[in-house]
Structure 1
Amino acid sequence: MSFKIAIIGAGSVGFTKKLFTDILCVPEFKDIEFALTDVSEHNLAMIKAILDRIVEANKLPTKVTATTNRREALEGARYIISCVRVGGLEAYADDIRIPLKYGIDQCVGDTICAGGILYGQRNIPVILDFCKDIREVAATGTKFLNYANPMAMNTWAAIEYGKVDTVGLCHGVQHGAEQIAQVLGAKSPKELDYVCSGINHQTWFIELKLNGRPVGKDELISAFEAHPVYSKQEKLRIDVLKRFGVYSTESNGHLSEYLPWYRKRPDEIARWIDMSDWIHGETGGYLRYSTETRNWFETEYPQFLEAASKPIDPAKRSNEHASHILEALETNRVYRGHFNVKNNGVITNLPQDAIIESPGFVDRFGINMAAGITLPEACAATCMASINVQRMSVHAAIAGDIDLLKLAVLHDPLVGAVSTPEEVWQMVDEMVVAQAQWLPQYAHAVPAAKERLSKSKVKTREWAGAARRSVRSIEELRAEKAALKQAG
């Protein structure tokens, strides 16, 4: 087989490398072309050198090109993968810092909540630019695979306004299933069969079977509470499991910021999170992790390049969906996964226009969703709160409507639990002004926002958050890695 895959945001070096090696685990794909594109020439040069080393070490005919000219990369591509972060860590820092001034303590801030909504405002105009290029220069019938957050908003915009065949991909379901299999004592995650459905980062394991035997709520609660690690790291998820009757896919930290109950009082936050790793609820945890990872990669790049000389091992192919989808579409080997698509009746008690994440099967005919799923009422209600925020956020981003943007933020579950309308109005003005360079659709609104800020009497505070850790230096990271190696 010979076709072209374009990766937008290929400067996300570690993730691009994973996608690349996964895809080349499919024997039929050795002759394909990878076209890498990014706004950073520096990052492009690094990832191309790594991928070239992999191709050389494995004696493959695979072609790798890299360019900052996006249209050139997309021209003739059959598949296009996006893993962009518009605004980079600079804008992301504002997604965390500014809401903290108004008492909104986020762990990740990339899906909904104040940070996730503004992230979507930055991404959506760029996503629509991608779609325009795809329609004009990509291969006929190309498929757009979106890995970038906020997943639902980006995918919604690409399908509804970009008019491109798009599927959103995430790994939350796989990770949640691995946890459940582990606490139930399974020898392999493959022993667990499940139906998991909802919206991205708020999917729910509504049916579980271990080796064909149904697993109920009480058994699952007991298994998690007895686990020596997860009982401490997943306190909030376990509490939701007890109250809702089903387990949520997303991490303790992620889930904590999608709900209005667990992060609204600073003195209560520590009760529900765990500081052993960022993903369990640390304030600004993913921002810290991303910053450390970038610094580590820049410093240790020669080692990453050297590691690329190893042979590709198909046994280490990851459970990221992309390679498996491409394999199913091109070879007709059926793949079952969980995909973000427009609902259109797949989940009976969520809106038709919503972007849902639910089970589907892939073969040469495309992605075929399992329809007719009904969520438990509490799960549907929680998803609905986020869907309403997502819909307003997408419409605001398309129209450049700052008033609708403020209403979207006001209706966010955690923001609404913490902040007054006056605080939300000022916070959005402040975020739009701070991020104006990445928000072209709001250029007309920035002068008035600045004027309002100059006259505002809403009080704010400089606050690091309830559970903040400092970014570690390279020396600290090296010492920690050495200690873990010695202990292991």
Structure 2
Amino acid sequence: MSFKIAIIGAGSVGFTKKLFTDILCVPEFKDIEFALTDLSEHNLQMIKAILDKIVESNKLPTRVTATTNRREAIAGARYIISCVRVGGLEAYADDIRIPLKYGIDQCVGDTICAGGILYGQRNIPVILDFCKDIRELAEPGAKFLNYANPMAMNTWAAIEYGKVDTVGLCHGVQHGAEQIAEVLGAKSQSELDYICSGINHQTWFIDLKLNGRKIGKDELVAAFEAHPVFSQQEKLRIDVLKRFGVYSTESNGHLSEYLPWYRKRPDEITKWIDMSDWIHGETGGYLRHSTETRNWFETEFPQFLASAEKPIDPAKRSNEHASHILEALETGRVYRGHFNVKNNGVITNLPSDAIIESPGFVDRFGINMVSGITIPEACAATCMASINVQRMSVHAAISGDIDLLKLAVLHDPLVGAVSTPEEVWQMVDEMVVAQARWLPQYADAVPAAKERLANSKVKTKEWAGAARRNVRSIEELRAEKAALKQAV
């Protein structure tokens, strides 16, 4: 087979390498072309060097091109994969820093909450540019695979306004299933069968079977509470499991910021999180992790390049959906996964226009969703709160309506639990002004926002958050890795 895959945001080096090697695990895909594109010529050349080394070492006919000209990369592509972070770490730092001034403590801030909503405002205009290029230049019927957060908002905009065949992809379901298999003592992942349904990052294991035996709430709670690691790392998720009756796919830190109950009182936040790793609830944890990862890669690039000489091992193919979807579409080998698409009745008790994450099967005929699923009422209520915020956020991003943006932030569950309307209005003004270069749709609103900020009487505080850690230096990271290696 010979076709072209364009990867937008290919400078996300580690993730691009994973997608690349996964796809080349499919025997029929050796002769395809990967077109890499990114705003950063520096990052682009680093990832191209790594991928070229993989091709050379494995003696493959695969072609790899790299360009900062996005339209050139998309031209003729059958599949377009997006893993962009609009505004980079500079804008992301504001997504965490500014809400903290108003008492809003986020772990990740890339899905909803104040940070996730502003992240969507930066991404959506760019997503629509991608869609325009796809419509004009890509192979007819090209499929857009979105990996970028905020997943639901980006996918919503691409489908509703970009008019491109789009599916959103995430690995939260797979990671949650790995945990469940471990606590239940499964010998392999294949022993566990499950149905997850909901919305991205708020998907729920509504049906669980281990070797054909149904697993109920009480058994699952007992298994998690008995686990020596997860009982400490997933305290909030376990509490939600006890109250809702089903386990959430999303990590402890992520889930904590989508709900109004666990991060609203600074003195209680540490009760529900774990500091052994960022993903369990650390304030600004993913920002710290992303900063350290970038710094580490820049310094250790020669080692990454050397590791690219290893043969591709199909046994180590990851459970990221992209390669499996492409394999199913091109070869007809059926793949089952959980995908982000427009609801249209797939989940009976969520709105038809929402972007849901639910089971589907892929073959030559496309992605075929399992319809008629009803999720538990508490799960639906929690999802609905986020969907309403997502809908307003998408409409605000399209229209450039700063008042609608403020209403979207005001209705966010955690923001509403922490901040007053006056604080929300000022916080959004501050974030829009700080990120104006990435928010072209709000250009006309920025002067008035600056004036309101100059005359504001709303008090803020300089606060690092309830559980903040400093970014570690390269020397500290190197010492920690050496200590771990010695311990093993």
Task: Give the alignment's TM-score, normalised by structure 2.
Answer: 1.00
Do structure 1's residue 313 and structure 2's residue 323 form an aligned pair? no
What's 2:396 paired with?
396
Counterpart of 2:108 in 1: which secondary structure?
coil
Separation in 1, partners of 2:347, 2:482: 48
Give the deviation of 1:74 after TM superposition: 0.2
User: Is 1:20 paired with 2:12?
Assistant: no
Structure 1 residue 130: deviation in Å? 0.2
What percent identity do the matched residue pairs reach?
91
Determine the C-alpha separation between the residues in 1 that align with 2:193 and 2:345: 23
Deviation at 1:69, TM superposition (A): 0.3
User: Using the alignment, how far apart are the partners of 1:190 and 1:9 within structure 2?
Assistant: 33
CA displacement at 1:480 relative to structure 2: 0.5
Q: Can you list the C-alpha shifts for 1:90-145, whole angstroms capped at 9, x where unaligned?
A: 00000000000000000000000000000000000000000000000000000000
Deviations 1:287-333 (A, max 9, x none): 00000000000000000000000100000000000000000000000
Residues in 2 aligned to 1:261 and 1:443: alpha-carbon distance in whole angstroms: 35
Shift of 1:353: 0.1
- SS of alignment partner, residue 460 of structure 1: coil
Per-residue CA deviations over 1:442-475 (Å, capped at 9, x if unaligned) read: 0000000000000000000000000000000000
How many angstroms apart in 2 are the aligned matches of 1:44 and 1:256?
35
Q: C-alpha deviations, 1:408-454, integer Å up to 9, x for none?
A: 00000000000000000000000000000000000000000000000
Task: Give SS of 1:362's match.
Answer: strand
Tell me by how many angstroms 1:189 deviates: 1.2
Q: Secondary structure at the match of 2:405?
A: helix
Deviation beyond 6 Å, 4+ runs, structure 1: none
Equivalence for 1:202: 202
Whole-angstrom distance in 2 between the partners of 1:470 and 1:190: 40
Give the SS at the match of 2:111. coil
For residues 473 and 9 of structure 1, what CA distance do their matches in structure 2 show?
26
Give the aligned partner of residue 65 of structure 2. Answer: 65
In structure 2, distance between residues paired with 1:425 and 1:333? 51
SS of 1:269's partner is helix
Structure 1 alignment gaps of length 5 or more: none
Aligned to 2:257, what secondary structure does the other structure show?
helix
- Give per-residue Cα distances to partners, 1:175-200, cap 9 Å, x unaligned: 00000000000011111000100000
- The aligned counterpart of 2:164 is 164
What is the match of residue 471 of structure 1?
471
Cα deviation for residue 44 of structure 1 reads 0.3
Say yes or no: does 1:325 pair with 2:330. no
Distance in 1, matches of 2:15 and 2:170, equals 12
Question: What's the offset of the Cα at 1:280?
Answer: 0.1
Q: Secondary structure at the match of 2:204?
A: strand
CA distance in 2, matches of 1:193, 1:316: 21
- What is the alpha-carbon distance in structure 2 between the residues aligned to residue 401 and residue 65 of structure 1? 39
Q: Which secondary structure state, in structure 2, belongs to the residue aligned with residue 441 of structure 1?
A: helix
Distance in 2, Cα, partners of 1:226 & 1:201: 25
SS of structure 1 residue aligned to 2:162? coil
Question: How far apart in 2 are the matches of 1:432 and 1:188?
Answer: 48
CA distance in 1, matches of 2:292, 2:40: 19
Deviations 1:364-401 (A, max 9, x none): 00000000000000000000000000000000000000
Secondary structure class of the residue paired with 1:25: coil
The alignment partner of 1:274 has SS state of coil
Alignment of 1:115-194 (within 5 A): 115-194=115-194
Alpha-carbon distance in structure 1 between the residues aligned to 2:455 and 2:437: 23
Inter-partner Cα distance in structure 1 for 2:139 and 2:146:
17
Q: Hey, what's the Cα distance between the residues in 1 that align with 2:215 and 2:56?
A: 48
CA shift for structure 1 position 33: 0.1
Q: Which residues of structure 2 form unaligned runs of 5+?
A: none
- CA shift, 1:17, in A, is 0.1
| Aligned-partner Cα distance in 2 for 1:261–1:216 | 25
CA distance in 1, matches of 2:177, 2:324: 18
The 5 Å alignment of 1:44-123 reads 44-123=44-123
Displacement, 1:486?
1.0
CA distance in structure 1 between the partners assigned to 2:18 and 2:248 by the alignment:
26
* CA displacement 1:46-104 (0-9 Å, x = unmatched): 00000000000000000000000000000000000000000000000000000000000
Offset from partner CA, 1:328-356 (integer Å, 9 cap, x none) = 00000000000000000000000000000
- In the TM superposition, residue 274 of structure 1 has moved relative to its aligned partner by 0.1
- Measured in 2, the distance between the counterparts of 1:316 and 1:195 equals 25
Which SS does the other structure have where 2:310 is aligned?
A: coil
Q: 1:279 offset after TM fit, Å?
A: 0.1
TM-score between both structures, scaled by the size of structure 1: 1.00
1:18-38 CA distances to partner (integer Å, 9 max, x unpaired)?
000000000000000000000
Structure 2 distance, partners of 1:375, 1:332, is 30
**C-alpha displacement at 1:487, in angstroms?**
1.1
1:253, distance to aligned residue in structure 2 (A): 0.0
CA distance in 2, matches of 1:181, 1:189: 6
* SS of 1:119 mapped into structure 2: helix
What secondary structure is seen at the aligned counterpart in 2 of 1:65?
strand
User: Partner residue of 1:447?
Assistant: 447
